[in-house]
């Protein structure tokens, strides 16, 4: 395969010499890396000439790409090839070149390798010994900068061996000591063995015979294991055999020094045996090299003979070459024409398919747009109807009241008027809620709540609806359910209020059941099933899927208004937020059952503050003085009268500037601050008030959606937010809660 690659490269350069630069420019960094790895494999097989040929090709590509990293790797490999063939000067030249290129590429690891290799070769020349030692020292420093323990170890071992060979044991230990600290379980066996043998030699020469014997024995154990390792190549096995021989030679000298002549003789015998094994491997490697060299020489001789034959037939060869080239050119032109025709046809097919796909997309977009337009029209039509119906009632009833009807009719008209107003507020809230869910603005919170108190509070809040249709609500909560849970109690309340409200609306003189069952409990995680059941009018099978669509309604002749038709759509979307689904089991005339499953964690601590459930706070007084800040006269009158019925006194400010002046001189327990006002809005006014009064509770009283205003309100120092129109009970609870925080300080 490698020869085929070489032949193809030669033929290509012969036929297309003008494209040589182009071929080099087409070599990517990955291509050059593959050539370098191929050269490394050939180097392991002692095929030096083939490795050099591939490295030359990689070198050309790297030069064209200005790739200093690859150029450094190529020079480093060339240096190894020359070193293995004892061409010392060439090896030094290549290693020096690799050092310069590695420095240019700012790759310290490559520079450390090249410096260590250069130092190892320079030691073989007396005049370059000092330079070799400098290279080893730089190699260690660059490796230390990278915290590369393997590369730090190599120059230390080379320096240690040099100083031991020179008899400079003090300098040798300066290198052996840090080398010992660099060793770990992940260190290469060859590095461990070399270090142990060097330490054994050092301890022997400094008369520390026990330490020497210990290190030599460790080296022998590892080496004996590695010479049997089939994964090691011939060069590694030769290295381990040589280290074994050196270790036993030192052990023999050590035994002789302590007059243990018997062991000295046995160790000397071991030295001879392992040295013989090492030389045997070396001879096999040299023979393999010679065989490869012989094959290469034979190939060169054949090439020279072929060249001579070619010279004799040069004129005929030229004609033959011209004919071949012309034939190839004609073939290539024909092939190019065919390929061009094929590509054109293929391009036409692709373009046709793209046009077909685009037409399909446009048709789908058109259908989608028509559907959206239809849905939009339906939505506007439905909302218009739902708004006009109660508005008609509001306007008509207001006219009747203005005509001063009989006193007995006033309450009836007012109740109807209140019903229409509540209906309009519910419609607006439902549309906004549905819009927020569909735009992913609703996020589930995780707070502690009491499940029993929540369910009971919902039942109590719907008490009026229960009485209107003469229904009874039954609560059944599984005893296995812990009352304190962690989750989004507000979303659960919305779901249950909608479901229970529907059940009460479509049931007369009947029963509604709210059930909470524990399906499983594992590691404090409850899987709860919530069931809302009634014995009301029921839902036909044909309508059971549609009721969860927006504005879907089930007709009820006993109700003046059937509702907004958004409740169950909101319920399903809120349940989807909990990664769950709602199911229905219903029969006309028998009743309906809705159920869904949600998982909640057990709360770590039970929270005892439940202001939303109607708990009354006692803070010592109820005669509060409140400042109402609102530019709308009607809103001022409404808020003042609501506070007056509760026994609170109040002052009015028409804008933010008036509010600041009144707070400076007045004694107020709380401020109800409108947001949008002329001259100075509520946010700016609050910011100024906080500069001289940080304790006064300020509540935003606004018609802006809560989530949109709460962050802004908190940022300027407001304590809470009340959204207009509001529930009166909730209104007073919010006031009391905020006043109590100040009164209890």
- φ/ψ region of 582 (left if φ > 0, alpha if ψ in -120 to 50, else beta) reads beta
Q: Please give the structure tokens belonging to residue 736.
A: 């009391």
| Shared-domain flag, residues 555 and 581 | yes
Gyration radius (Cα) of the chain, Å: 47
Q: Where are the alpha helices (DSSP H) in 16-85?
A: 20-25, 29-44, 48-64, 68-84
Domain boundary among 612, 631, 658: 612
| Shared-domain flag, residues 454 and 598 | yes
* pLDDT band (50, 70, 90) for residue 615: very low
| Shared-domain flag, residues 456 and 604 | yes
Residues 6 or more apart from 183 whose CB is under 8 A from it?
Answer: 153, 191, 192, 195
The pLDDT score that the predictor gives to residue 44 is: 74
| Shared-domain flag, residues 645 and 699 | yes
The pLDDT score that the predictor gives to residue 699 is: 95
Residues 6 or more apart from 682 whose CB is under 8 A from it?
Answer: 629, 656, 673, 674, 675, 676, 700, 702
Say if residue 483's pLDDT is above 80: no
| Shared-domain flag, residues 699 and 734 | yes
Between CA 122 and CA 135 the distance in angstroms is 9
Mark 692-725 as b/e (b = at least 16 C-beta within 10 Å).
Answer: eeeebbbbbbbebeeeebbebbeebbbbbbbbbe
Q: Highest mean pLDDT: which of 369-378, 430-439, 515-524, 720-729?
A: 515-524
Stronger pLDDT, 498 or 393, i.e. the higher one: 498
Residue 192 C-beta-side C-alpha neighbours within 13 Å: 16
Q: Please give the structure tokens belonging to residue 255.
A: 């035994």
List Cα–Cα distances, 683 to 18, 60, 659, in angstroms: 77, 71, 12
| Shared-domain flag, residues 735 and 683 | yes
* pLDDT band (50, 70, 90) for residue 104: confident
Report yes or no on 502 lying in a domain: yes
The pLDDT score that the predictor gives to residue 18 is: 40
Between CA 352 and CA 236 the distance in angstroms is 64
Site of tokens 């899987």: 527
Number of H helices, E strands in the chain: 25, 12
Between CA 416 and CA 192 the distance in angstroms is 96
The pLDDT tens digits of the residues spanning 55-80 come to: 887 888 888 888 888 888 888 888 88
Map residue 544 onto helix, strand or coil: coil
The pLDDT score that the predictor gives to residue 698 is: 96
Report yes or no on 250 lying in a domain: yes
Say if residue 370's pLDDT is above 50: yes
Q: Where are the alpha helices (DSSP H) in 483-534?
A: 489-505
| Shared-domain flag, residues 479 and 607 | yes
Q: Highest mean pLDDT: which of 50-59, 457-466, 492-501, 557-566?
A: 492-501
The pLDDT score that the predictor gives to residue 21 is: 41
Q: Please give the structure tokens belonging to residue 575.
A: 């349940």
Say if residue 556's pLDDT is above 50: no
Between CA 159 and CA 172 the distance in angstroms is 7
pLDDT-wise least confident of 112-116, 337-341, 392-396: 392-396
- The DSSP letter of residue 616 is P
Range of the structural domain that residue 286 is part of: 189-312
Mean pLDDT, range 525-529, rounded to an integer = 92
* pLDDT band (50, 70, 90) for residue 17: very low
Between CA 492 and CA 444 the distance in angstroms is 10
Between CA 372 and CA 390 the distance in angstroms is 27
Q: What's the mean per-residue pLDDT of the chain?
A: 79
pLDDT above 90 covers a percentage of the chain that reads 16
The pLDDT score that the predictor gives to residue 466 is: 74
The pLDDT score that the predictor gives to residue 407 is: 59
Domain boundary among 312, 341, 371: 312
Residues 6 or more apart from 669 whose CB is under 8 A from it?
Answer: 624, 625, 626, 697, 739, 742
Between CA 391 and CA 385 the distance in angstroms is 10
Q: Highest mean pLDDT: which of 422-426, 695-699, 729-733?
A: 695-699
Say if residue 128's pLDDT is above 50: yes
Please name which of 657, 637, 641 lies closest in space to residue 649, comparing C-alpha atoms: 641
Cβ–Cβ under 8 Å, residues 592 and 533: yes
The pLDDT score that the predictor gives to residue 291 is: 61
Phi, psi of 582 (to 5 degrees): -105, 140
Mean pLDDT, range 27-48, rounded to an integer = 80
Say if residue 16's pLDDT is above 60: no
Map residue 519 onto helix, strand or coil: strand
List Cα–Cα distances, 375 to 361, 362, 524, 549, in angstroms: 20, 19, 45, 12
CATH of residue 648: 3.40.50.2300
pTM (two decimals) = 0.40
| Shared-domain flag, residues 635 and 599 | no
Say if residue 311's pLDDT is above 70: no
Q: Highest mean pLDDT: which of 329-333, 431-435, 510-514?
A: 510-514
Q: Please give the structure tokens belonging to residue 744.
A: 């209890």
The pLDDT tens digits of the residues spanning 23-37 come to: 454 678 788 888 888
* pLDDT band (50, 70, 90) for residue 477: very high
- Beta-strand ranges (E) seen in 588-715 are 591-602, 625-629, 649-653, 670-673, 698-702
pLDDT-wise least confident of 259-268, 575-584, 692-701: 259-268
The pLDDT score that the predictor gives to residue 692 is: 94
Chain centroid to CA 67: 33
Say if residue 506's pLDDT is above 50: yes
Does a cis peptide bond (omega within 30 degrees of 0) precede residue 725?
Answer: yes
Cβ–Cβ under 8 Å, residues 724 and 691: no
* pLDDT band (50, 70, 90) for residue 11: very low
Mean pLDDT, range 348-361, rounded to an integer = 82
Total structural domains within the chain:
3
Map residue 520 onto helix, strand or coil: strand
| Shared-domain flag, residues 452 and 578 | yes
Say if residue 1's pLDDT is above 70: no
Report yes or no on 359 lying in a domain: no
Stronger pLDDT, 39 or 559, i.e. the higher one: 39
pLDDT-wise least confident of 238-242, 290-294, 634-638, 668-672: 290-294
Report yes or no on 340 lying in a domain: no
| Shared-domain flag, residues 562 and 475 | yes
Please name which of 195, 92, 73, 79 lies closest in space to residue 135, comparing C-alpha atoms: 92
Q: Please give the structure tokens belonging to residue 10.
A: 């030669």
Report yes or no on 147 lying in a domain: no
The pLDDT score that the predictor gives to residue 5 is: 47
Report yes or no on 270 lying in a domain: yes
The pLDDT score that the predictor gives to residue 493 is: 83
Say if residue 551's pLDDT is above 60: no
Between CA 393 and CA 467 the distance in angstroms is 24
* pLDDT band (50, 70, 90) for residue 516: very high
Please name which of 255, 225, 254, 159 lies closest in space to residue 198, comparing C-alpha atoms: 159
Between CA 210 and CA 251 the distance in angstroms is 11
The pLDDT score that the predictor gives to residue 548 is: 77
**Helix axes 108-122 and 68-84, enclosed angle (nearest 10):** 20
Report yes or no on 253 lying in a domain: yes
Between CA 505 and CA 60 the distance in angstroms is 87
Residue 209: is it exposed, middle or buried by C-beta count within 10 angstroms (0-12/13-18/19+)?
A: middle
Domain boundary among 247, 280, 312: 312
Say if residue 410's pLDDT is above 80: no
* pLDDT band (50, 70, 90) for residue 102: confident
Please name which of 102, 200, 197, 104 lies closest in space to residue 151, comparing C-alpha atoms: 102
* pLDDT band (50, 70, 90) for residue 312: low
Stronger pLDDT, 696 or 569, i.e. the higher one: 696
Say if residue 558's pLDDT is above 60: no
Q: Which residues sit opposite 520 in a β-bridge?
A: 527
Mean pLDDT, range 134-153, rounded to an integer = 88
| Shared-domain flag, residues 601 and 628 | no
Between CA 9 and CA 497 the distance in angstroms is 81
pLDDT above 70 covers a percentage of the chain that reads 76
Between CA 513 and CA 534 the distance in angstroms is 6
CATH of residue 550: 3.30.565.10
Report yes or no on 62 lying in a domain: no
Do strands 525-534 and 511-522 pair parallel, antiparallel, or not at all (unpaired)?
A: antiparallel
Cβ–Cβ under 8 Å, residues 162 and 123: yes
Residues 6 or more apart from 76 whose CB is under 8 A from it?
Answer: 94, 95, 98, 110, 113, 114, 117
The pLDDT score that the predictor gives to residue 378 is: 52
The pLDDT score that the predictor gives to residue 27 is: 73
| Shared-domain flag, residues 605 and 666 | no
Chain centroid to CA 592: 45
159 CB neighbour count, 10 Å cutoff: 23
The pLDDT score that the predictor gives to residue 237 is: 83
Do strands 472-477 and 591-602 pair parallel, antiparallel, or not at all (unpaired)?
A: unpaired
């Amino acid at each position: 395969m490698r020869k085929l690659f070489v032949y193809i490269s030669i033929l290509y350069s012969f036929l297309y010499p003008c494209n040589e630069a182009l071929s080099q420019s087409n070599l990517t960094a990955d291509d050059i890396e593959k050539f370098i790895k191929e050269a490394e494999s050939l180097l392991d097989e002692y095929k030096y000439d083939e490795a050099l040929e591939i490295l030359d090709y990689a070198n050309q590509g790297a030069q064209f790409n200005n790739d200093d990293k690859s150029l450094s790797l190529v020079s480093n490999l060339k240096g190894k090839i020359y070193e293995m063939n004892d061409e010392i000067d060439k090896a030094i030249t290549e290693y020096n070149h690799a050092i310069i290129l590695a420095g240019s590429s700012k790759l310290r690891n490559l520079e450390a390798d090249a410096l260590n290799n250069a130092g190892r070769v320079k030691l073989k020349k007396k005049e370059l010994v000092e330079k070799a030692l400098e290279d080893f020292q730089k190699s260690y420093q660059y490796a230390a900068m990278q915290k590369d323990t393997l590369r730090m170890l190599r120059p230390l071992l080379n320096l240690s061996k040099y100083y031991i060979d020179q008899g400079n044991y003090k300098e040798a230990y300066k290198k052996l000591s840090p080398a010992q600290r660099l060793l770990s379980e992940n260190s290469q066996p060859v590095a461990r063995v070399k270090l142990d043998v060097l330490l054994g030699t050092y301890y022997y020469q400094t008369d520390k015979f026990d330490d020497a014997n210990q290190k030599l024995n460790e080296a022998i154990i590892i080496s004996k294991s590695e010479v049997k390792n089939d994964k090691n190549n011939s060069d590694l096995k030769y290295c381990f055999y040589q280290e074994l021989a050196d270790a036993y030679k030192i052990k023999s000298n050590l035994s002789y020094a302590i007059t243990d002549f018997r062991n000295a003789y046995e160790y000397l015998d071991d030295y001879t045996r392992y040295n013989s094994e090492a030389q045997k491997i070396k001879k096999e490697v040299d023979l393999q090299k010679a065989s490869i060299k012989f094959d290469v020489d034979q190939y060169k001789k054949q090439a020279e003979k072929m060249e001579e034959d070619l010279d004799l037939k040069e004129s005929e060869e030229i004609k033959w070459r011209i004919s071949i080239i012309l034939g190839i050119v004609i073939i290539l032109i024909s092939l190019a024409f065919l390929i061009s025709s094929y590509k054109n046809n293929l391009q036409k097919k692709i373009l046709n398919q793209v046009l077909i796909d685009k037409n399909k997309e446009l048709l789908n977009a058109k259908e989608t747009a028509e559907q959206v337009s239809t849905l939009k029209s339906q939505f506007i039509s439905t909302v218009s109807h739902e708004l006009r119906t109660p508005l008609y009632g509001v306007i008509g009833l207001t006219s009747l009241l203005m005509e001063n009807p009989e006193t007995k009719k006033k309450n009836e008209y007012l109740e109807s008027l209140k019903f229409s107003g509540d209906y309009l507020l519910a419609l607006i809230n439902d549309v906004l809620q549905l819009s927020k869910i569909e735009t992913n603005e609703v996020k589930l919170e995780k707070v502690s709540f009491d499940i029993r108190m929540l369910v009971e509070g919902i039942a109590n809040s719907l008490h009026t609806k229960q009485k209107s249709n003469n229904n009874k609500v039954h609560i059944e909560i599984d005893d296995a359910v812990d009352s304190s849970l962690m989750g989004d109690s507000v979303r659960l309340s919305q779901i249950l209020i909608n479901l229970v409200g529907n059940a009460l609306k479509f049931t007369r003189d009947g029963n509604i059941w709210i059930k909470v069952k524990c399906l499983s409990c594992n590691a404090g995680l409850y899987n709860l099933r919530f069931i809302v059941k009634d014995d009301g009018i029921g839902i036909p099978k044909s309508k059971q899927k549609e009721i969860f669509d927006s504005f879907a309604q089930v007709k009820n002749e006993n109700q003046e208004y059937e509702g907004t038709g958004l409740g169950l759509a909101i319920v399903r979307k809120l349940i989807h937020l909990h990664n769950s689904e709602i199911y229905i089991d219903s029969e006309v005339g028998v009743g309906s059952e809705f159920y869904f499953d949600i998982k909640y964690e057990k709360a770590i601590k039970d929270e005892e503050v439940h202001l939303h459930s109607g708990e009354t706070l006692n803070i010592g007084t109820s005669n509060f003085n409140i400042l109402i800040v609102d530019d709308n006269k009607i809103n001022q009158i409404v808020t003042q009268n609501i506070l007056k019925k509760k026994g609170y006194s109040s002052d009015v400010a028409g804008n933010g500037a008036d509010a600041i002046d009144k707070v400076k001189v007045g004694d107020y327990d709380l401020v109800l601050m409108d947001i949008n006002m002329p001259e100075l809005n509520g946010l700016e006014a609050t910011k100024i008030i906080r500069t001289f009064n940080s304790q006064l509770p300020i509540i935003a009283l606004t018609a802006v959606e809560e989530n949109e205003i709460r962050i802004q309100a908190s940022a300027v120092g407001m304590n809470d937010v009340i959204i207009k129109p509001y529930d009166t009970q909730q209104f007073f609870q919010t006031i009391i809660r905020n006043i109590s925080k100040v009164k209890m300080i």
